[in-house]
Amino acid sequence: MASSLVGRRLAACLLNISEAHRTDLVETVAKAALYDTEGVRREGATVLNIFNDQDYNRSVITIVANVDSLGDAVLSACEAACGLIDLSAHSGLHPCMGAVDLVPIYPLGEEVGADRCAQEARAVARGLTERVRGSSAFLFGWADSPLQRGLAQRRKEMGWFRKRRGLLQDIRSDVGPPPQRRFGLTGVGASPYVMNCNVTIDTQDIAVGRGIAAAIRESTPGGLPGVQVLALPHEGAVEIACNVESVNGVAPSELTEGTPWPSFSIDGQPYCHAPAALITARVAELAGRHGVRAKGTALVGFTPHECRALAELAISQGISEFWKEQHRIRM
């Protein structure tokens, strides 16, 4: 891709698969997004990051490409994952419904609109169920026309916490047959960028974690806009695992607390998201009331601005397997 075109019409997929223990398998899935079946590299596509969580037995693969070619890359990765992962044999602390659990598509600039991302997401859902016999999907966000229900709502409707592996038969998929034990049910959708910010607190008391999660959740009065959160056991402590959704509008002045909220626009509309520093500070404050300290914060992937900037860099330099280079390049 010529450097003059870098950054134009870029979109990202943070592909969530239900496997982290077999890192070679996860890399095979990532490479399927980058190379066709003949081993030929897909021009203009890059995998920026692979995040493996052993306790959750879940990996997140950050795939970026021009929106017109992103679907093909993502679909190839999904097909590879379905051939390698058997959900009926899966175990992990993070709730999941599918071998390929989540396929969210996000625009990375004003050049890509909501309708285009929704179109690509629906094409991925159809393509997956056509290529992988027995797979099924539900739609969320912009792809869920006309209701445009969010991911949290759709998961709640389908009993995300209760429906594990072989317990999916009573769920009606949006695309494909009823869910089967091997593949489960894949969530496919499109929305403004969702950042994953996880804060670990130094306790094994899950009740403390759940109280903190409830306090910062968007649906709670005084909670943080766009923040969907779980408290989960993690590496001998408790992790406050936050999905930080980008919200329409400008940051509420009473919540900025001296920390600017990163902002961008989609289809001419302003969006912003709660910064990781604010989430960390709020968790630390609430944990401190229980005599518990915050141990650290981890971003799964990048912020929206980081994702775009690194994608431009990777694509301009022709680096497909950027995850292998990112620590050197970002230093």
Mean pLDDT in consecutive groups of 10 residues from the start of the chain, 331 residues? 58 98 98 94 95 95 97 98 96 92 96 97 98 97 96 87 58 92 96 96 98 96 94 96 94 75 94 94 97 93 92 95 79 35
CA 141/CA 132 separation, integer angstroms = 23
The per-residue pLDDT for 209 is: 98
CA atoms within 13 A on the CB side of 281: 11
Whether the bond into 146 is cis, omega within 30 of 0: yes
Handedness of CA 280, 286, 289, 294 (dihedral sign): negative
Read off the tokens for 9: 């019409």
What pLDDT is attached to residue 1?
Answer: 36
Q: Look at residue 190 in the predicted model and tell me its pLDDT.
A: 98
Query: What span, in angstroms and rounded, lies between the C-alpha atoms of 241 and 200?
Result: 8
Alpha-carbon distances of 202 from 55, 272, 283, 301, rounded to whole Å: 16, 30, 12, 23
User: How far apart (Å, rounded) are the C-alpha atoms in residues 69 and 80?
Assistant: 17
- pLDDT for res 4: 45
The model carries a pTM of 0.93
CB-based contact 218:226 (threshold 8 Å): yes
Residue 162, classed as helix, strand or coil, is coil
- The confidence score (pLDDT) of residue 3 equals 41
Residue with the two structure tokens 């050049």: 111
